[in-house]
Chain A
Amino acid sequence: MSKVSTNTVSFTLNGVKKTFETRPDEKLLALLRRNGYRGTKYGCGQGTCGACTVIMDGRAVYACLMYAMQAEGSKVRTIESSGTFENPGEFQKELVAAGAVQCGYCIPGIVMSATALMEAEKDVTDEIAREYMDGNLCRCTGYEKIWIALRRVLDRKPGEKKPAAAKRGKK
Protein backbone atom coordinates (compact mmCIF):
# COMPACT_ATOMS: atom_id res chain seq x y z
CA MET A 1 0.00 0.00 0.00
CA SER A 2 1.30 3.40 -0.88
CA LYS A 3 0.70 5.49 2.17
CA VAL A 4 1.06 9.04 0.99
CA SER A 5 3.02 10.80 3.64
CA THR A 6 5.28 12.77 1.34
CA ASN A 7 2.34 14.88 0.15
CA THR A 8 3.37 15.01 -3.45
CA VAL A 9 1.42 14.03 -6.53
CA SER A 10 2.82 13.04 -9.93
CA PHE A 11 0.92 13.16 -13.17
CA THR A 12 1.42 14.04 -16.81
CA LEU A 13 0.37 17.62 -17.35
CA ASN A 14 -0.10 18.72 -20.95
CA GLY A 15 2.25 15.97 -22.07
CA VAL A 16 5.00 16.55 -19.52
CA LYS A 17 5.48 14.33 -16.48
CA LYS A 18 5.50 16.47 -13.36
CA THR A 19 5.55 16.15 -9.60
CA PHE A 20 3.89 18.75 -7.41
CA GLU A 21 3.87 19.46 -3.70
CA THR A 22 0.36 19.28 -2.37
CA ARG A 23 -1.81 18.54 0.67
CA PRO A 24 -4.38 15.74 0.95
CA ASP A 25 -7.29 18.14 0.76
CA GLU A 26 -5.99 20.49 -1.91
CA LYS A 27 -8.25 20.61 -4.97
CA LEU A 28 -6.72 19.94 -8.36
CA LEU A 29 -7.90 23.38 -9.46
CA ALA A 30 -5.97 25.09 -6.66
CA LEU A 31 -2.85 23.11 -7.46
CA LEU A 32 -3.00 24.00 -11.15
CA ARG A 33 -3.57 27.70 -10.58
CA ARG A 34 -0.93 27.86 -7.85
CA ASN A 35 1.56 26.44 -10.35
CA GLY A 36 0.83 28.98 -13.05
CA TYR A 37 -1.85 27.18 -15.05
CA ARG A 38 -4.29 30.02 -14.69
CA GLY A 39 -6.26 29.39 -17.86
CA THR A 40 -8.35 27.00 -15.80
CA LYS A 41 -10.80 29.26 -14.01
CA TYR A 42 -12.31 29.22 -10.56
CA GLY A 43 -16.01 29.86 -11.04
CA CYS A 44 -18.52 28.43 -8.60
CA GLY A 45 -16.16 26.06 -6.80
CA GLN A 46 -18.95 23.51 -6.40
CA GLY A 47 -19.18 21.62 -9.65
CA THR A 48 -21.91 23.58 -11.38
CA CYS A 49 -20.48 26.15 -13.78
CA GLY A 50 -17.73 24.23 -15.63
CA ALA A 51 -15.17 27.07 -15.78
CA CYS A 52 -12.60 24.76 -14.15
CA THR A 53 -13.05 21.90 -16.64
CA VAL A 54 -9.86 19.98 -17.47
CA ILE A 55 -9.41 16.68 -19.27
CA MET A 56 -8.22 13.75 -17.21
CA ASP A 57 -7.44 10.53 -19.07
CA GLY A 58 -9.63 11.66 -21.96
CA ARG A 59 -12.61 12.67 -19.83
CA ALA A 60 -13.78 16.18 -19.01
CA VAL A 61 -13.83 16.67 -15.24
CA TYR A 62 -14.36 19.54 -12.80
CA ALA A 63 -10.97 20.41 -11.30
CA CYS A 64 -12.78 22.08 -8.38
CA LEU A 65 -14.43 18.79 -7.36
CA MET A 66 -11.30 16.72 -7.56
CA TYR A 67 -8.62 16.34 -4.95
CA ALA A 68 -5.19 16.81 -6.49
CA MET A 69 -4.20 13.41 -5.08
CA GLN A 70 -6.81 11.75 -7.30
CA ALA A 71 -4.77 12.77 -10.35
CA GLU A 72 -1.84 10.51 -9.39
CA GLY A 73 -0.53 8.70 -12.47
CA SER A 74 -3.12 10.20 -14.81
CA LYS A 75 -2.83 12.38 -17.90
CA VAL A 76 -4.22 15.84 -17.30
CA ARG A 77 -4.71 18.45 -19.96
CA THR A 78 -5.60 22.08 -19.37
CA ILE A 79 -6.64 24.90 -21.71
CA GLU A 80 -2.93 25.74 -22.06
CA SER A 81 -2.62 22.62 -24.23
CA SER A 82 -5.19 23.65 -26.79
CA GLY A 83 -3.72 26.78 -28.32
CA THR A 84 -2.01 30.08 -27.70
CA PHE A 85 -3.04 33.67 -28.20
CA GLU A 86 -0.98 33.82 -31.42
CA ASN A 87 -1.96 30.38 -32.57
CA PRO A 88 -5.43 29.45 -31.28
CA GLY A 89 -7.01 26.06 -31.79
CA GLU A 90 -9.63 25.47 -34.45
CA PHE A 91 -12.61 25.72 -32.08
CA GLN A 92 -11.10 28.77 -30.42
CA LYS A 93 -10.91 30.48 -33.84
CA GLU A 94 -14.52 29.61 -34.54
CA LEU A 95 -15.61 30.95 -31.16
CA VAL A 96 -14.00 34.29 -31.97
CA ALA A 97 -15.38 34.30 -35.51
CA ALA A 98 -18.90 33.62 -34.22
CA GLY A 99 -18.68 36.39 -31.63
CA ALA A 100 -19.19 33.80 -28.91
CA VAL A 101 -16.73 35.29 -26.46
CA GLN A 102 -17.91 38.23 -24.43
CA CYS A 103 -16.36 38.13 -20.98
CA GLY A 104 -14.68 34.84 -21.84
CA TYR A 105 -14.58 33.42 -18.33
CA CYS A 106 -16.45 30.24 -19.27
CA ILE A 107 -14.57 29.68 -22.52
CA PRO A 108 -11.56 27.66 -21.25
CA GLY A 109 -13.98 25.15 -19.74
CA ILE A 110 -16.15 25.14 -22.85
CA VAL A 111 -13.11 24.47 -25.02
CA MET A 112 -12.04 21.56 -22.81
CA SER A 113 -15.51 19.97 -22.86
CA ALA A 114 -15.66 20.39 -26.65
CA THR A 115 -12.19 18.86 -26.98
CA ALA A 116 -13.28 15.81 -24.98
CA LEU A 117 -16.35 15.57 -27.23
CA MET A 118 -14.41 15.80 -30.48
CA GLU A 119 -11.85 13.24 -29.37
CA ALA A 120 -14.37 10.71 -28.10
CA GLU A 121 -17.13 10.83 -30.71
CA LYS A 122 -17.49 10.92 -34.44
CA ASP A 123 -20.71 11.73 -36.33
CA VAL A 124 -21.76 13.97 -33.46
CA THR A 125 -25.52 14.50 -33.34
CA ASP A 126 -26.99 17.51 -31.52
CA GLU A 127 -28.11 15.16 -28.79
CA ILE A 128 -24.59 13.82 -28.18
CA ALA A 129 -23.09 17.32 -28.32
CA ARG A 130 -25.62 18.59 -25.77
CA GLU A 131 -24.77 15.68 -23.50
CA TYR A 132 -21.05 16.53 -23.55
CA MET A 133 -21.64 20.26 -23.12
CA ASP A 134 -24.31 20.17 -20.39
CA GLY A 135 -21.86 20.87 -17.59
CA ASN A 136 -20.72 24.31 -18.76
CA LEU A 137 -22.61 27.48 -18.05
CA CYS A 138 -22.23 30.80 -19.87
CA ARG A 139 -23.82 33.79 -18.19
CA CYS A 140 -23.21 36.61 -20.63
CA THR A 141 -22.91 35.76 -24.33
CA GLY A 142 -25.58 33.09 -24.32
CA TYR A 143 -25.29 29.66 -25.81
CA GLU A 144 -26.42 30.31 -29.38
CA LYS A 145 -23.11 31.63 -30.71
CA ILE A 146 -21.10 29.05 -28.78
CA TRP A 147 -23.34 26.40 -30.31
CA ILE A 148 -22.88 27.84 -33.83
CA ALA A 149 -19.09 27.79 -33.41
CA LEU A 150 -19.14 24.22 -32.11
CA ARG A 151 -21.42 22.99 -34.89
CA ARG A 152 -19.11 24.60 -37.48
CA VAL A 153 -16.14 22.65 -36.19
CA LEU A 154 -18.13 19.43 -35.85
CA ASP A 155 -19.66 19.69 -39.31
CA ARG A 156 -16.37 20.42 -41.06
CA LYS A 157 -15.31 17.46 -43.09
CA PRO A 158 -11.71 16.32 -42.83
CA GLY A 159 -9.53 18.27 -45.25
CA GLU A 160 -12.12 20.99 -45.72
CA LYS A 161 -10.74 24.50 -45.84
CA LYS A 162 -10.38 25.97 -42.39
CA PRO A 163 -11.56 29.50 -41.66
CA ALA A 164 -9.05 32.31 -41.97
CA ALA A 165 -7.68 33.34 -38.61
CA ALA A 166 -10.15 35.63 -36.96
CA LYS A 167 -9.30 39.28 -37.41
CA ARG A 168 -7.91 40.90 -34.37
CA GLY A 169 -7.93 44.66 -34.14
CA LYS A 170 -4.53 46.33 -34.17
CA LYS A 171 -3.44 47.71 -30.89
Chain B
Amino acid sequence: MKLSEFIRPATLKEARDVLRELGPKGMPLAGGTALHFMQGKTPVTAVDITRLGLSYIKQDGNYFVIGAATPLADIQRRRGERWAMHEICRRISTHQIRNVSTIGGNICRVFPWADLPVVLLAMGAVMTVYTGKKKEDEVPADEFFASQPARRFAGGDILTAVKIPVLKAHHGFGSVKVSRNAAAFSMVTIAALLELDGGTIKSARVAAGSAIPFPRRLRLVEAALAGKEPTAEVFRAAAAACTDVKWCGQEGMSAEYIRNLAEVSITDALERAAEFARGRTK
Protein backbone atom coordinates (compact mmCIF):
# COMPACT_ATOMS: atom_id res chain seq x y z
CA MET B 1 0.00 0.00 0.00
CA LYS B 2 1.32 3.44 -0.95
CA LEU B 3 1.83 5.89 1.87
CA SER B 4 1.45 9.59 1.17
CA GLU B 5 2.12 10.78 4.70
CA PHE B 6 3.27 9.45 8.05
CA ILE B 7 1.76 10.83 11.25
CA ARG B 8 2.76 10.11 14.85
CA PRO B 9 -0.04 11.17 17.19
CA ALA B 10 0.91 11.71 20.82
CA THR B 11 -2.35 10.56 22.40
CA LEU B 12 -5.12 8.08 21.77
CA LYS B 13 -7.58 10.93 21.29
CA GLU B 14 -5.38 12.60 18.68
CA ALA B 15 -5.00 9.31 16.87
CA ARG B 16 -8.76 8.77 16.77
CA ASP B 17 -9.46 12.35 15.71
CA VAL B 18 -7.02 12.21 12.82
CA LEU B 19 -8.23 8.76 11.69
CA ARG B 20 -11.83 9.98 11.86
CA GLU B 21 -10.99 13.00 9.76
CA LEU B 22 -9.01 11.00 7.21
CA GLY B 23 -11.66 8.30 6.81
CA PRO B 24 -10.67 5.83 4.09
CA LYS B 25 -7.59 7.96 3.36
CA GLY B 26 -6.06 7.05 6.73
CA MET B 27 -4.69 3.78 8.00
CA PRO B 28 -3.61 2.95 11.55
CA LEU B 29 -0.11 1.48 11.59
CA ALA B 30 1.22 -0.70 14.40
CA GLY B 31 3.71 -3.33 13.21
CA GLY B 32 2.86 -2.36 9.67
CA THR B 33 3.87 -5.72 8.21
CA ALA B 34 0.49 -6.34 6.54
CA LEU B 35 0.41 -2.86 5.03
CA HIS B 36 3.18 -3.79 2.61
CA PHE B 37 0.93 -6.40 1.03
CA MET B 38 -2.40 -4.58 0.98
CA GLN B 39 -3.69 -3.58 -2.40
CA GLY B 40 -4.95 -0.07 -2.92
CA LYS B 41 -4.53 2.35 -5.75
CA THR B 42 -4.85 5.56 -3.75
CA PRO B 43 -2.07 6.38 -1.27
CA VAL B 44 -3.05 6.53 2.40
CA THR B 45 -1.77 8.42 5.41
CA ALA B 46 -0.22 6.09 7.96
CA VAL B 47 -1.14 6.90 11.56
CA ASP B 48 1.48 5.36 13.85
CA ILE B 49 -0.24 3.99 16.99
CA THR B 50 2.85 2.34 18.47
CA ARG B 51 3.80 5.33 20.60
CA LEU B 52 0.63 5.50 22.69
CA GLY B 53 1.65 3.15 25.51
CA LEU B 54 -0.37 0.26 24.11
CA SER B 55 2.40 -2.34 24.41
CA TYR B 56 2.14 -4.27 27.69
CA ILE B 57 0.94 -7.48 29.33
CA LYS B 58 -0.47 -7.32 32.84
CA GLN B 59 -2.85 -9.25 35.02
CA ASP B 60 -5.94 -7.40 36.16
CA GLY B 61 -8.18 -9.52 38.35
CA ASN B 62 -9.64 -12.37 36.30
CA TYR B 63 -8.05 -11.18 33.08
CA PHE B 64 -4.66 -10.99 31.46
CA VAL B 65 -4.73 -7.67 29.64
CA ILE B 66 -2.60 -7.43 26.52
CA GLY B 67 -2.12 -3.98 24.97
CA ALA B 68 -3.22 -3.87 21.33
CA ALA B 69 0.23 -2.84 20.09
CA THR B 70 2.09 -5.61 21.96
CA PRO B 71 4.35 -7.54 19.58
CA LEU B 72 3.65 -11.27 19.25
CA ALA B 73 7.21 -12.00 20.46
CA ASP B 74 6.38 -10.52 23.87
CA ILE B 75 3.27 -12.69 24.19
CA GLN B 76 5.23 -15.72 23.07
CA ARG B 77 8.10 -15.19 25.55
CA ARG B 78 5.86 -14.67 28.57
CA ARG B 79 5.53 -17.69 30.81
CA GLY B 80 3.35 -18.05 33.86
CA GLU B 81 0.75 -20.05 35.67
CA ARG B 82 -2.43 -20.58 33.62
CA TRP B 83 -0.96 -18.67 30.68
CA ALA B 84 -1.60 -20.31 27.32
CA MET B 85 -1.16 -17.58 24.70
CA HIS B 86 2.51 -18.31 24.00
CA GLU B 87 1.72 -21.56 22.21
CA ILE B 88 0.00 -20.07 19.16
CA CYS B 89 2.22 -16.98 19.00
CA ARG B 90 5.31 -19.17 18.68
CA ARG B 91 3.70 -20.70 15.59
CA ILE B 92 2.97 -17.45 13.80
CA SER B 93 5.36 -16.55 10.99
CA THR B 94 9.04 -15.97 11.78
CA HIS B 95 11.07 -14.46 14.60
CA GLN B 96 11.56 -11.14 12.79
CA ILE B 97 7.83 -10.79 12.08
CA ARG B 98 6.84 -11.76 15.62
CA ASN B 99 9.11 -8.96 16.85
CA VAL B 100 7.11 -6.39 14.91
CA SER B 101 3.63 -7.75 14.24
CA THR B 102 1.12 -6.95 17.00
CA ILE B 103 -1.85 -8.74 18.51
CA GLY B 104 -4.11 -5.85 17.49
CA GLY B 105 -2.94 -5.87 13.90
CA ASN B 106 -3.61 -9.58 13.73
CA ILE B 107 -7.24 -9.26 14.73
CA CYS B 108 -8.48 -5.80 13.63
CA ARG B 109 -8.48 -6.93 10.04
CA VAL B 110 -9.03 -10.67 9.89
CA PHE B 111 -7.33 -12.47 7.05
CA PRO B 112 -8.70 -15.98 6.37
CA TRP B 113 -5.49 -17.63 7.57
CA ALA B 114 -5.22 -15.66 10.84
CA ASP B 115 -4.55 -17.78 13.93
CA LEU B 116 -5.24 -15.37 16.78
CA PRO B 117 -8.97 -14.87 16.12
CA VAL B 118 -9.41 -18.63 16.47
CA VAL B 119 -7.64 -18.67 19.83
CA LEU B 120 -9.49 -15.60 21.11
CA LEU B 121 -12.86 -17.09 20.10
CA ALA B 122 -12.11 -20.28 22.04
CA MET B 123 -10.75 -18.34 25.00
CA GLY B 124 -13.79 -16.09 25.21
CA ALA B 125 -11.55 -13.01 25.10
CA VAL B 126 -12.87 -9.46 25.39
CA MET B 127 -11.66 -6.63 23.16
CA THR B 128 -11.59 -3.07 24.50
CA VAL B 129 -12.19 -0.36 21.92
CA TYR B 130 -11.60 3.37 22.32
CA THR B 131 -14.52 5.28 20.83
CA GLY B 132 -13.66 8.74 22.08
CA LYS B 133 -15.48 8.26 25.37
CA LYS B 134 -13.70 7.93 28.68
CA LYS B 135 -15.12 4.47 29.20
CA GLU B 136 -13.95 2.16 26.49
CA ASP B 137 -16.30 -0.32 24.83
CA GLU B 138 -15.88 -3.96 25.79
CA VAL B 139 -16.65 -6.32 22.94
CA PRO B 140 -16.76 -10.09 23.51
CA ALA B 141 -14.94 -12.24 20.96
CA ASP B 142 -18.16 -13.81 19.64
CA GLU B 143 -19.45 -10.36 18.72
CA PHE B 144 -16.08 -8.97 17.60
CA PHE B 145 -15.47 -11.82 15.16
CA ALA B 146 -19.11 -12.18 14.01
CA SER B 147 -18.09 -10.34 10.84
CA GLN B 148 -14.99 -8.57 9.52
CA PRO B 149 -13.82 -6.44 12.50
CA ALA B 150 -12.20 -3.88 10.17
CA ARG B 151 -15.69 -2.41 9.61
CA ARG B 152 -15.93 -1.57 13.30
CA PHE B 153 -12.83 0.61 12.99
CA ALA B 154 -13.74 2.44 9.78
CA GLY B 155 -14.86 5.48 11.78
CA GLY B 156 -11.53 5.93 13.52
CA ASP B 157 -12.16 3.90 16.69
CA ILE B 158 -9.05 2.16 17.99
CA LEU B 159 -8.58 -1.24 19.59
CA THR B 160 -6.67 -0.66 22.83
CA ALA B 161 -6.42 -4.05 24.52
CA VAL B 162 -7.31 -7.72 24.43
CA LYS B 163 -8.46 -9.27 27.69
CA ILE B 164 -7.85 -12.98 28.09
CA PRO B 165 -9.63 -14.77 30.96
CA VAL B 166 -7.18 -16.20 33.49
CA LEU B 167 -7.78 -19.94 33.31
CA LYS B 168 -8.75 -21.70 36.51
CA ALA B 169 -7.39 -25.03 37.70
CA HIS B 170 -10.33 -26.89 36.16
CA HIS B 171 -9.81 -25.24 32.78
CA GLY B 172 -7.78 -26.69 29.97
CA PHE B 173 -6.64 -24.95 26.80
CA GLY B 174 -5.02 -26.27 23.66
CA SER B 175 -4.31 -24.89 20.21
CA VAL B 176 -3.09 -26.61 17.07
CA LYS B 177 -1.88 -25.05 13.85
CA VAL B 178 -1.07 -27.13 10.79
CA SER B 179 1.10 -25.57 8.10
CA ARG B 180 3.32 -26.83 5.32
CA ASN B 181 6.41 -25.46 7.00
CA ALA B 182 7.22 -23.47 10.12
CA ALA B 183 6.72 -20.03 8.61
CA ALA B 184 3.89 -20.81 6.18
CA PHE B 185 0.31 -19.66 6.55
CA SER B 186 -1.98 -22.02 8.39
CA MET B 187 -3.82 -24.82 6.55
CA VAL B 188 -6.05 -25.30 9.55
CA THR B 189 -5.98 -23.79 13.05
CA ILE B 190 -8.01 -25.16 15.96
CA ALA B 191 -8.30 -23.91 19.54
CA ALA B 192 -10.19 -25.52 22.39
CA LEU B 193 -11.09 -24.48 25.92
CA LEU B 194 -12.46 -27.14 28.26
CA GLU B 195 -14.12 -26.49 31.58
CA LEU B 196 -14.02 -29.65 33.65
CA ASP B 197 -16.22 -30.54 36.58
CA GLY B 198 -14.78 -33.52 38.38
CA GLY B 199 -14.54 -36.27 35.79
CA THR B 200 -16.75 -34.67 33.16
CA ILE B 201 -16.65 -31.78 30.72
CA LYS B 202 -18.93 -29.05 32.00
CA SER B 203 -18.60 -26.86 28.94
CA ALA B 204 -16.36 -26.39 25.93
CA ARG B 205 -15.48 -23.64 23.48
CA VAL B 206 -13.93 -24.85 20.25
CA ALA B 207 -13.06 -22.65 17.27
CA ALA B 208 -11.57 -23.17 13.83
CA GLY B 209 -9.93 -21.04 11.18
CA SER B 210 -7.95 -21.09 7.91
CA ALA B 211 -9.67 -24.05 6.23
CA ILE B 212 -12.89 -22.04 6.20
CA PRO B 213 -13.49 -18.54 4.82
CA PHE B 214 -13.77 -16.89 8.25
CA PRO B 215 -12.89 -18.05 11.78
CA ARG B 216 -15.85 -19.41 13.77
CA ARG B 217 -16.94 -21.46 16.76
CA LEU B 218 -17.69 -25.16 16.22
CA ARG B 219 -20.96 -25.34 18.17
CA LEU B 220 -21.77 -28.93 17.24
CA VAL B 221 -18.38 -30.08 18.55
CA GLU B 222 -18.94 -28.13 21.75
CA ALA B 223 -22.39 -29.71 22.19
CA ALA B 224 -20.95 -33.18 21.63
CA LEU B 225 -18.48 -32.64 24.48
CA ALA B 226 -20.76 -31.25 27.17
CA GLY B 227 -21.45 -33.69 29.98
CA LYS B 228 -19.04 -36.31 28.64
CA GLU B 229 -15.78 -37.57 30.08
CA PRO B 230 -12.57 -36.14 28.57
CA THR B 231 -11.44 -39.33 26.86
CA ALA B 232 -9.85 -39.96 23.48
CA GLU B 233 -13.03 -41.62 22.16
CA VAL B 234 -15.22 -38.71 23.20
CA PHE B 235 -12.77 -36.27 21.55
CA ARG B 236 -12.76 -38.27 18.31
CA ALA B 237 -16.54 -38.48 18.24
CA ALA B 238 -16.85 -34.76 18.95
CA ALA B 239 -14.40 -33.92 16.15
CA ALA B 240 -16.56 -35.91 13.72
CA ALA B 241 -19.66 -34.03 14.85
CA CYS B 242 -18.91 -30.78 13.03
CA THR B 243 -21.09 -31.68 10.08
CA ASP B 244 -22.22 -28.07 9.62
CA VAL B 245 -18.80 -26.87 8.53
CA LYS B 246 -17.89 -26.71 4.86
CA TRP B 247 -14.13 -27.20 4.78
CA CYS B 248 -12.44 -25.70 1.73
CA GLY B 249 -9.84 -27.49 -0.33
CA GLN B 250 -6.54 -25.70 -0.79
CA GLU B 251 -3.78 -25.76 -3.36
CA GLY B 252 -3.12 -29.44 -4.03
CA MET B 253 -5.46 -30.61 -1.27
CA SER B 254 -9.05 -31.75 -1.68
CA ALA B 255 -11.83 -30.57 0.63
CA GLU B 256 -12.09 -34.17 1.85
CA TYR B 257 -8.41 -34.16 2.87
CA ILE B 258 -8.80 -30.83 4.68
CA ARG B 259 -11.88 -32.15 6.51
CA ASN B 260 -9.87 -35.13 7.72
CA LEU B 261 -6.99 -32.84 8.70
CA ALA B 262 -9.39 -30.60 10.61
CA GLU B 263 -10.94 -33.52 12.51
CA VAL B 264 -7.53 -34.82 13.53
CA SER B 265 -6.53 -31.29 14.58
CA ILE B 266 -9.70 -30.87 16.66
CA THR B 267 -8.91 -34.14 18.46
CA ASP B 268 -5.32 -32.99 19.05
CA ALA B 269 -6.42 -29.60 20.38
CA LEU B 270 -8.85 -31.28 22.77
CA GLU B 271 -6.12 -33.69 23.94
CA ARG B 272 -3.81 -30.73 24.54
CA ALA B 273 -6.55 -28.93 26.45
CA ALA B 274 -7.07 -31.98 28.65
CA GLU B 275 -3.29 -32.15 29.25
CA PHE B 276 -3.34 -28.48 30.21
CA ALA B 277 -6.06 -29.15 32.76
CA ARG B 278 -3.88 -31.93 34.14
CA GLY B 279 -1.00 -29.50 34.58
CA ARG B 280 0.83 -29.14 31.26
CA THR B 281 2.57 -25.78 31.13
CA LYS B 282 4.80 -26.00 28.06
Q: A21 within 8 Å of B by Cβ?
A: no
The answer to whether B100 and A61 have CB atoms under 8 Å apart is: yes
Q: B264 within 8 Å of A by Cβ?
A: no
A161 to B36, CA, bound (A): 46
Which residues from A are CB-within-8-Å of B46?
24, 67, 69
Which residues from B are CB-within-8-Å of A3?
5, 7
A171 to B18, CA, bound (A): 61
Chain B window 126-147, contacts with chain A (Cβ cutoff 8 Å), 1 for yes, 0 for no: 0000000000000000000000
Task: Say which residue of A53, A72, A132, A134 sits within 8 Å of B183 (CB atoms).
Answer: A134
The SS class assigned to the A binding surface is mixed
Q: Interface size bucket, B side?
A: 20 to 34
- Contact A1/B32 with A47-B96, A59-B73, A61-B99 known, Cβ cut-off 8 Å: no
Tell me, rounded to whole Å, the shortest Cβ–Cβ distance linking A76 to chain B: 13
Task: Say which residue of B6, B36, B73, B100 sits within 8 Å of A24 (CB atoms).
Answer: B6
A52 to B4, CA, bound (A): 24
Which residues from A are CB-within-8-Å of B280?
none
The answer to whether B7 and A113 have CB atoms under 8 Å apart is: no
Q: B9 within 8 Å of A by Cβ?
A: yes
Q: A2 within 8 Å of B by Cβ?
A: yes
The answer to whether B96 and A53 have CB atoms under 8 Å apart is: yes
Interface size of A by CB at 8 A reads 29
Chain A window 145-167, contacts with chain B (Cβ cutoff 8 Å), 1 for yes, 0 for no: 00000000000000000000000
Within 8 A of B (CB), among A19-50: 24-25, 27, 46-48, 50
Q: A131 within 8 Å of B by Cβ?
A: yes
- Contact A4/B99 with A48-B183, A67-B32, A69-B46 known, Cβ cut-off 8 Å: no
- Give chain B's interface residues, CB within 8 Å of chain A: 2-10, 14, 18, 29, 32-33, 35-37, 43, 46, 48, 50, 71, 73, 90, 93-97, 99-100, 182-183
